[in-house]
Structure 1
Amino acid sequence: MNVARPRGTYCLKAAARCAPLVAAAGFAMATPLPTPPCGTPPVPAYASLGAQPAISILRGEELDTSVWRPSSCTGWPAASRSRVVVALAGLARVADGPETLLTRAGAVSTLRTVRYWSTTDKKWRPLFLDAAALAGPAEAGRRRDDFRPSELQAGRTFYYWVDDSRSGPMVYRVRVLERSPHRVALAEENVSPVRAFGLTVFQPAALQTVVFAQRQADEIWGLYILVRIDRQASSFIASGHEASTANRALALFRHLAGVPTDAEPPAVR
């Protein structure tokens, strides 16, 4: 599968500029280790309704020092080693609960409207230039209509295609880990490798995200998003990718929460 090279010089700039931005934002080395809401309270804890979600950003050396291992409910192997891990946790008002959340998650075509803060360009920009649900895993496969909530049943797997505004065309796989009236869990990872400057910077499954949505009271849901960049990713490109990962994760959180994705402030300026 041919994947377009990242547009512009984003990857080079990110490595040089994102790391000091994270430090300047005040993310300390003592950041608590991310723990999803799987039988225990989440870490970080959910931020208040209407507030910016709580955010934890950890790099490989912090994760290694603390011997962090992903919770089994993520579906990630316990031996997984990560270059970057980002966790967001907050509350959102969601009418009709799982139906609304799965409608938003399955509406792949609307991803082209999602915006995130680019620390490279210093402005809000589209996350994806285009996006479409796929009938199968191949990038050249037949596009189809958005996934319906009735299709997103526990144990099923789906694929979608995006034209990432930085990395070009990519295919993602989505697995429905859990679905009940009180809890939804979705896991996604890249199927396509990402190449830049003649190198494969992200192997398949190097970019992984798990979303947990759990009912707290009536229409109030806790949203917890855990994102990781695997250690197999190129250290030259992935180093300093914390700011971009955090801002993209916040865009996803807002998309699922049904709030403007380009609302101030971003996760990392």
Structure 2
Amino acid sequence: MNVARRRSTYGLKAAARCAPLVVAAGFAAATPLPTPPCGTPPVPAYASLGAQPAMAILRAEELDTGAWRPSLCTGWPAASRSRVVVAVAGLVRVDDGPETLLGRAGAVSTLRTVRYWSTTDKKWRPLFLDAAALSAEGGERRGDFRPPELQAGRTFYYWVDDSRSGPLVYRVRVLEHSPHRMALAEENVSPVRAFGLVLFQPAALQTVVFAQRQTNDVWGLYILVRIDRQASSFIASGHEASTANRALALFRHLAGVPTDADPPAVR
């Protein structure tokens, strides 16, 4: 069964916590340029254990003037131009280390339980109506990915019925997998369409998740989200808040805490 065909409106795949780098009327002027933990301390720095994760959000104007370029470890082209960039960072307590984190990341079917705060509807709503791992790109549904499968260098695919954008297929690449560090990169394979227009080309919505052991059971979790400049300015502009709330939901899901707990990233 090819599960990649059906309806579509718009969709943004991720993001996280906004304060204190976002103010009520707009974005702080001195937003630091996001830097993932790849040999240097992350920017923003990890929030304390048990606290809301820290966040940095950059819009197109800030990206142009700030000359932000993705770090080499993300796998994103250094010359790529971005419309929105969101970074989320926090410390989380994880028993059994990378196997637990990989188990949560690979349990695609549980994504249907993730909820995020909709700034449009002003309520908590499901991120995905349905989700399933795929045997291949455009392949059949299969069982969730198990941690032993998620070895560095491997590529996987999964399907979601996004509550906003409808059915989409994502590609996941395992960049790193060791007892002390893991990194997963994902991007949309399906174009996102609405009203006869392509709003997001394939690979326009990209997320990289880094997890690095700090102590025995405390890990630094860092999520970096990028919307490519090729994305429709009509739909991407002004949706930083939605991206942030979706990323916070992803962060909480991987951290193993309730995804719909107050406060959201942005009301």
Distance 2:25 2:262 in 1: 15
- Residue 242 (1) aligns with residue 240 (2): yes
Distance 1:235 1:28 in 2: 21
DSSP 3-state at the match of 1:31 = coil
- CA shift for structure 1 position 246: 0.6
State the match for 2:30 in structure 1. Answer: 30
Contact map agreement 1:3 1:194 (CA 8 A) in 2: no
- Residue 99 (1) aligns with residue 102 (2): no
State the match for 1:159 in structure 2. Answer: 157
State the match for 2:121 in structure 1. Answer: 121
State the match for 2:17 in structure 1. Answer: none
State the match for 2:258 in structure 1. Answer: 260
Contact map agreement 1:3 1:195 (CA 8 A) in 2: no
Residues 121-161 of structure 1: CA deviation (Å, up to 9, x unaligned): 000000000000000111xx211000000000000000000
- Count residues with an aligned counterpart: 255
Distance 1:56 1:3 in 2: 34
DSSP 3-state at the match of 1:84 = strand
Distance 2:50 2:219 in 1: 12
DSSP 3-state at the match of 1:217 = coil
Q: How has the CA–CA distance of structure 1 residues 25 and 212 changed in structure 2, closer, same or farther, with 3 Å as cutoff?
A: farther
- CA shift for structure 1 position 93: 0.2
**1:6 is matched with which residue: 9, 33, 37?**
9
State the match for 2:89 in structure 1. Answer: 89
State the match for 1:66 in structure 2. Answer: 66
Distance 2:173 2:63 in 1: 26
Matches within 5 A, 1:128-167: 128-138=128-138, 141-167=139-165
Distance 2:171 2:103 in 1: 17
One-letter amino acid matched to 2:49: L
DSSP 3-state at the match of 1:105 = helix
Q: Which has the higher helix share?
A: 1
- CA shift for structure 1 position 23: 5.0
One-letter amino acid matched to 1:106: G
One-letter amino acid matched to 2:151: Q
Distance 1:200 1:158 in 2: 24
Residues 56-106 of structure 1: CA deviation (Å, up to 9, x unaligned): 111011011011000000000000111000000000000000000000000
RMSD across aligned C-alpha pairs, in angstroms?
1.4
- Residue 228 (1) aligns with residue 226 (2): yes
One-letter amino acid matched to 1:120: T
One-letter amino acid matched to 2:107: A
State the match for 2:19 in structure 1. Answer: none
One-letter amino acid matched to 1:72: L
Distance 1:57 1:109 in 2: 29
Q: How has the CA–CA distance of structure 1 residues 134 and 219 changed in structure 2, closer, same or farther, with 3 Å as cutoff?
A: same
TM-score by length of 1: 0.92
- Residue 206 (1) aligns with residue 209 (2): no
One-letter amino acid matched to 1:6: T
TM-score by length of 2: 0.93
Give unmatched runs, 5+ long, in structure 2.
Answer: 13-21
Contact map agreement 1:3 1:193 (CA 8 A) in 2: no
State the match for 2:186 in structure 1. Answer: 188
Residues 193-251 of structure 1: CA deviation (Å, up to 9, x unaligned): 00011110000000000000000011000000000100000011110110111111110
- Residue 51 (1) aligns with residue 54 (2): no
One-letter amino acid matched to 1:103: G
Give unmatched runs, 5+ long, in structure 1.
Answer: 12-21
DSSP 3-state at the match of 1:62 = helix
DSSP 3-state at the match of 1:166 = coil
One-letter amino acid matched to 2:238: G
- Residue 219 (1) aligns with residue 217 (2): yes
